[in-house]
Every structure is written in C-alpha cells, then in structure tokens.
Amino acid sequence: MEPLAEAESSRRNANVLSNPTQPSQVNEKVQQLHTVEAPPSHSSNEEPVIEHQKFRSKWPKILLHVVIVLLFTGWWITGLVLHRHDLNWRVPLLLWLCVCLRILTFYVPVTPLMRVLRWIWKQSAVRIRDLLPEKARLPIAALITIIVIVVGAMASPEALDNTRANRAVSLFGLAVFLAGLTATSRNRKAIRWHTVIMGMLVQFLVALFVLRTKAGFDIFNFISELCRSLLGFANKGVVFLTSDKVPDLHWFLSSVLPAIVFFVALVQLFYYWGILQWFIGKFAVFFFWSMRVSGAEAVVAAASPFIGQGESAMLIKPFVQHLTKAEIHQIMASGFATIAGSVLVAYINLGVSGQVLISSCVMSIPASLAVSKLRYPETEETLTAGNVTVPKDDDKASNGLHAFANGAWLGLKIAGMILATLLCIIALVGLIDGLLTWFGHYINLSGDYDLTLELILGYLFYPLAFLLGVPRQNGDLLKVARLIGIKVVENEFVAYTQLQQNPLYASLSPRSRIIATYSLCGFGNLGSLGTQIGVLSQIAPGRSGDVSRLAVSALLTGIISTLTSASIAGLLVTEGALVQGMSTINGTSTA
C-alpha cells in the first residue's frame, strides 16, 4: 500500500501546482518542495577562528596598500618642498589624490558619501529646478547652454588669425551641424533634449578646461608626455632587435608600429589589474547619470577612447543581442567619433599635438551621445536603462605576465592590420589617382591642378572646412577640406601623415592646423565601417541585419560628432594654443 500512497500524494501535489486557481496552495507546495534542511550552525568557538583566518588572508594586501600610500605621500611632500617653484606641482598632487582615494575605496564604502552628495544635489539644484514651470525647464536649460558657449567663445581677446569673425563662423557651423541632425532625425518628436543639451554643455566645458585654463593644459600635457615617453621605451626594444641607428630613420615600420604593440600590451595589463575597468566604470556612471542614457550606451561611449571601437563593444557582449536599434546606432557612432589609445601614441610620434588628441577623445564621449540621440532617438524599452555594468572578462589571464603576453600578441595583430590596411589603401589611391590624372590630361588638368582623388575631395568637403571656422587666407580652406576628405575616404592615419609630412600643408596657419587636428581625430571612414559591421555581427549574429542597416547613418553621425569638437576648438583656441601650433609646425615641440 505504501507505493500507492506515495503515487497518490505525488498526483495531488502535481494537481495543486498545475491549478492556477489555487495560489495559496501553490505557494505552500513550492515552499515545501524547496525546503531543505538547514546546515548545522558553527559553534561560538569556531567564529573567532574564522575571523582570524580572514584577517590573516587580508593583511598582506593591507600592508601593501599602506606602503604604497606612504611612498606616494613621501614622494609628493618631498617634491613639493624641493621643487615647488621650478616644477609643476598640480600633476603630482592629482596623482597622489587619485592613488590615495582609490586605495581608500577598498576599505571605506562610497555609498554614505554618495548619499550626502545626493542630498546636497536634491536640496540645491533639484529645488531650483522644481521652482521652474515644467514646460520652461528645457528651454531655460538650452538658453543657459547657449549663453555659456557664446560668452566663453567671445570673451577672450583676439590673437593672430583667431579673430571673433572666425569664431562666429565656427559657432555658425556648430549650429548648422546640430540643425542638420535635427532635420534628418528619424523621429524628431522622440528626441530627448536633456541628453542633447547636457552633451553639448559637457563637451564645451571639457574644451574650455583644456584650451583656456592652465590646470587643464598642464594635466593634458602631462598625459601627452606620458604617451610620448612610451615611444622611447618601445625604441629600446627596436634597438635590441635591430640597431641603435634604426630609430633615427623615422620609418613608419620601425617607429610607429612598435609603439602600438607595446601600448596594447600595457593596456591589457591594466585591464587584468582592473584599473581600466575602474576608470571606464566611473566615466560611464557620470554620463549615465548626467545624460540619462542606458547603461550599455554609457559603458561603450566611455570605453571607446581607451580601447577602441571593436573592443568597447565586447565589454557589453552579453547585452548586444538585446540592444534596441537606437542603442546599436549609438554604440557604432561612439566608435566612429573617436580614436583608440592603441593608435594615439602613433599619431603623437608623427608630431601631432598630444593635448589636442587626448582632449578630443574625452570630448567625443558626450558629443557622440548627444548627436546620436538627435539622429536616432530612443523609442523602445532598453534592457540596461537602470544600471551601469561592466561585465567581467570570461577569458581572464592567469596572471599579469600572461596578460602582458596576450597584449603583446594582440598588439602585433593590430599593428599588422594597420600595416596591411595602409599598404593596400595607399596603393589603391595611387591607382585611382593614376587613372584620374590620365583622364585629366585630356582636358588640360595637369601640373599643380592634376585631377586626383585628393583634389576632388577637397572641393567636396570645402563647405565643411568653411563651417569649422578655418581662415580663408592662404588657401587653408581647400587644404583642410582635402585632409577631411582623405580621412573619410581613406583613414585618419593617412590624413595625419599628410598633415605632418606633406610640404603642401606646412604653410597651414596655427588655427587651421588645430582645427584640422581635431577634425581628423576619429575612426569615421569607410574602412572602419566594415570593421564595426564585422565585430557586432560576430558578437550577435541575429542582429547583423539591424547593424548593416544602421551602419551608414552611424558613420555619418560619428563624423559629425568629430566635426563638432573641431568647431568648439575653433571657438576656444587661445594665443597660447596658437603659439603651440606654430612650434609644432616648426618642429620645435609637439607636446
């Protein structure tokens, strides 16, 4: 009888669980089925032993952190006492603060501090906002942003060709770019203007900090010098493998590519230590909170300047399959709007201003978010709308040496891809130029006016160069337009090489050179279009159709995002930056 009783009991349980009209019985049975016997509790004598073991396992890490803080504190105080007047004291102070605060956050939770800051924010800014009529909040915010941009642009005195007339043209160009995106928006009624206004304001404030303040100049100059130092360390490896005369040849193969390999290896090491994820996470949280974008969009936009367009999408690999079309558009636009850290040192080695490149990368984060939401607003529910998550790496290296070796191999692949791409693109352009020149000779286009792809692109992009505020003297408009065309059709590597090494561009004025440097600082070219489609289609094969349909729009949006940074640079460039541009032209300095 016992087997029959057990079968009848199982049948009754199954009927209760399958009957949706008896929720109380369902809950009761589910609790019974999931109830397990509680493990035996530890005795009170075992608890102190466990706590002691935990402390013993943590004390080496605590001791290491204490030693690091003491060393950095001693170094900072010594430097402040000995070199307060002859060396820059701001950068060591900021470095010491970053190290101490990062170590402090290992032991002190940030939540209480954030609660205090949130309370202050609610008692100040939120209360002021609540006093305003709801319909007037966005117009007032837009008006304040416009006033800040206009006053910040026109307040500084004129210098060289940095006249207020040229700044007015840059301001007009910025307005044209935004108006064009709004007019061609996929859904103008769905545009979230808070994101657009905040993005443009943050982009302008970053440029203001870099181009108008001594502290901003010093910080970005320090980062630029660090990147430049990497070139010297990479050259030591080149000398070991070849000869001490090879670095002096200044060949692209022996001076630029080794620095890329070394830099990518360092990035992978920082990623293994968690440093890179920490910085990306903090950037992402700020833009997620301030611009009201989804967590996936914030992470990719914050990561793109650090690790590049393909690698940044890998950070949100678990979510790519479930992204909305607007999110896919934004992720691709972020990649097109900036360059990656792996090629940053290469451009600095070519002689491009490091401060301009680094500031442009930071400015691209809010700019890409703002312009993408103009062009393709969000109309769907997003999976990561309420949180920012940087997923852990599934293929994490076993130790630091393993991570560094993996980075070296990845850097070698990236360098090889750059080498092959440049070889093929330059050869293809040479073929096209040969055919065009042959046709041009029959219509008397020869000599200084050979019919070439560069000449055609120069006239096609002439209006863009004008809208950026490039001076109209000395033929600078056509020259900058040619560079923008080369960047879009070929890539930014070829464009920066032309800017720094072609005698045709040596006569560019300092203002034109700075604007050109900003306008070229992005992966917005036809070659990167294939890269983005390939990476995202590989991560989420089911979304390959959406990726292909959105790719061209995202490319144009990314290009315009880069151009807005160039327009803002045209608004804010100062006499000091112009003098720096002159020194770059003369070859006396590139920092």
For residues 510 and 583, give the distance between their C-alpha atoms in angstroms, rounded to a whole number. Answer: 9
| Contacts for 542 with CB less than 8 Å, ≥ 6 apart | 321
pLDDT score for 312: 77
pLDDT score for 70: 93
pLDDT tens, residue by residue, 41-76: 444 555 555 555 665 667 888 888 899 999 999 998
- Angle, vertex CA 500, rays to CA 496 and CA 504, nearest 5: 105
Q: CA dihedral in degrees (219, 224, 229, 231; nearest 10)?
A: 170
359: nearest Cα among 260, 493, 567, 216: 216
Tell me: pLDDT of 87 over 80.
Answer: no
Provide mean pLDDT across the span 72-88.
84
**Residue 354 contacts residue 591 (beta carbons within 8 Å):** yes
- Rounded to the nearest integer, the mean pLDDT of the chain is 81
Tell me: pLDDT of 130 over 50.
Answer: yes
Strongest mean pLDDT among 16-30, 135-149, 206-220: 135-149
pLDDT tens, residue by residue, 317-371: 778 888 899 999 999 999 899 888 778 877 888 888 888 888 898 898 899 999 9
pLDDT score for 197: 93
pLDDT tens, residue by residue, 253-309: 887 788 888 888 888 888 888 877 777 777 788 888 888 888 888 888 888 887 777
Confidence of residue 20 (pLDDT cuts 50, 70, 90): very low
Tell me: pLDDT of 538 over 70.
Answer: yes
Tell me: pLDDT of 92 over 80.
Answer: yes
| Contacts for 278 with CB less than 8 Å, ≥ 6 apart | 102
Cα-trace Rg, the chain:
28
Tell me: pLDDT of 4 over 60.
Answer: no
For residue 488, CA distances in Å to 337, 358, 430, 522, 560 come to 12, 20, 16, 9, 11
Confidence of residue 591 (pLDDT cuts 50, 70, 90): very low
For residues 61 and 40, give the distance between their C-alpha atoms in angstroms, rounded to a whole number. Answer: 32
Provide mean pLDDT across the span 387-396.
66
Within 13 Å of residue 471, how many CA atoms lie on the same side as its CB? 18
Confidence of residue 10 (pLDDT cuts 50, 70, 90): very low
Confidence of residue 559 (pLDDT cuts 50, 70, 90): very high
Tell me: pLDDT of 443 over 90.
Answer: no
pLDDT score for 336: 92
Structural tokens at position 372: 């993408």
Provide mean pLDDT across the span 15-32.
40
pLDDT score for 387: 66
Is the sign of the CA dihedral 305, 306, 312, 318 positive or negative? negative
Provide mean pLDDT across the span 474-497.
90
- Angle, vertex CA 229, rays to CA 223 and CA 235, nearest 5: 150
Provide mean pLDDT across the span 384-388.
69
pLDDT tens, residue by residue, 99-116: 888 888 888 887 787 788
pLDDT score for 258: 86
Residue type at 55 in one-letter notation: F
Strands (E) in 48-145, as ranges, are: none
pLDDT tens, residue by residue, 452-469: 888 888 889 999 999 999
Q: Where are the alpha helices (DSSP H) in 351-491?
A: 354-375, 400-441, 453-460, 462-467, 476-489
Structural tokens at position 394: 């599934």
For residue 573, CA distances in Å to 166, 566, 578 come to 11, 10, 7
pLDDT score for 55: 56
Domain ranges, ordered by start, for the chain: 57-130, 156-420+519-585
Element (H, E) at 342: helix 341-350
pLDDT score for 48: 58
Q: Give percent above pLDDT 90 in the chain.
A: 24
Tell me: pLDDT of 477 over 80.
Answer: yes
Classify 544 as helix, strand or coil. helix
Structural tokens at position 70: 């003491």
Confidence of residue 560 (pLDDT cuts 50, 70, 90): very high
Q: Could you tell me which residue, 314 or 426, shows the higher pLDDT? A: 426
- Angle, vertex CA 588, rays to CA 242 and CA 476, nearest 5: 110
pLDDT score for 495: 92
Q: Give percent above pLDDT 70 in the chain.
A: 84
Q: Could you tell me which residue, 230 or 542, shows the higher pLDDT? A: 542
pLDDT score for 407: 85
For residues 272 and 400, give the distance between their C-alpha atoms in angstroms, rounded to a whole number. Answer: 7
For residues 510 and 200, give the distance between their C-alpha atoms in angstroms, rounded to a whole number. Answer: 25
